Amino acid sequence: MNTAGTHTIETERLILRRFTVEDYEDMYTNWTSDPEVTKFLSWPTHPDKEFTRTLLTEWVGYYSEGKTYNWGITLKCDDRVIGNIAVVERDERTKSYELGYCLGRAFWGKEIMPEALEAVIRYLFENEEDLSRVIATHDPRNPKSGRVMQKAGMHYDGCLRAAKRNNTGIHDTAYYSILRSDMVTKEQYAALFNEMHPGYFERDYVKNVPDDEPASEMLLRLQSFDGDIYEKTFPDDVTFGFYDGDIEALKEEVAKVVPHWVNFFGKDARIYCGFVSGKIASFCMIQDFGEHMVDGMKWKIGGPGCVGTVPEYRDRGIGLTMVRNVTQILRDELYDYSYIHYTYETGWYSKLGYTTFLTWTGSGIK
């Protein structure tokens, strides 16, 4: 396979770039000196800055050969490296690469690693025509790493017992992968959107969406969905389930959130709610968007629609737990993808593994 080499990648919040030797202090401070970061990694915690500098000097030297993929992760607002992502194994026979990554502990829980991983996967497939498969692995005792892989669109392949060694010893290894055939282009996503919403940009309310406030469309591949990705403990008076009560009472609660949604909640709608002491705290419709062909594959798509939480019950995790439950219901009903339409709450939905596949404004798809 021909190697394109390490070139700068830009995402919404990140710059992935080549390391320089001068990065050694930030590298040491942010992750190589931290045993919590290296606990499940195959290389040891660095004893001092000089050790990191020596390693980094070696890495930088490899760039001139043009055959290495090794990025430092930086925030757009700050050029200091906060993590690393690299191709760590190659298999010419199967035309596959294995990726490894790590991130400074101060930056955990900010959705940085999924953003970086997804960008590198796309870069590799776009720049290596022969590449067929990208894999990543993790110790099952470190499930958050697996969730990073899920959020980046990778698929769980299985677990091999006692397959690798890290700083804790020999360990079982969970494998994730993504194939070239799994990658969908922006053009294919745009075609899917237009097929699902014919004449969408002719609607008056859509035309009024300003160019500086793009709305997002999000998808989650349900085969990769992990219901344990978001867990919240509630008191006994918080419950969840399908709504079978008075539809007018439901509409009163919907009107408190988005008044013009009221007309969507008819008697035939499939409605799921969160309740507090029997009162409606959150609500959504479970929608069926039908089956669609994408790159020769049939996708059965459903999703939670008109998702809302009554103001007095917000910031308790009730709404997101409701969406998690609906996502699991769709998976159990053998849908392929769960779809979020017209949202500005991408950070909220991403906690469940949903990713943005396109954005749009009144002037069209971006």
For CATH 3.40.630.30, the residue range(s) in the chain are 9-182, 186-365
Token pair in block for residue 31? 């992750």
Write down the architecture of domain 186-365 according to CATH: 3-Layer(aba) Sandwich (3.40)
The angle that helices 112-127 and 143-151 make with each other, rounded to 10 degrees, is: 50
**Sign of the four-CA dihedral 229, 74, 139, 91:** positive
Return d(Cα 1, Cα 92) in angstroms, integer.
7
Domain 9-182 in CATH: superfamily? Answer: Gcn5-related N-acetyltransferase (GNAT) (3.40.630.30)
**H or E element at residue 102:** strand 96-103
Residue type, 9: I
List beta partners, residue 216: 343, 359
Say if residues 288 and 338 touch (Cβ distance below 8 Å).
no
pLDDT at 353: 87
Mean pLDDT of the chain: 94
**How many other CB atoms are found less than 10 A from the CB of residue 8?**
10
Rg (CA), the chain: 23
Residue type, 87: V
Q: Which portions of the chain are predicted below pLDDT 70? A: none
pLDDT at 67: 87
Burial of 212 (0-12, 13-18, 19+ CB in 10 A): exposed
Token pair in block for residue 212? 């500086």
Q: For 55, phi and psi rounded to 5 degrees?
A: -65, -45
Burial of 62 (0-12, 13-18, 19+ CB in 10 A): middle
CB environment 15-33: b (16+ within 10 A), e (fewer): bbbbbeeebbebbbbbbbb
Scanning the structure block, which residue is given the tokens 């979020």?
340
pLDDT at 72: 98
Say if residues 206 and 362 touch (Cβ distance below 8 Å).
yes
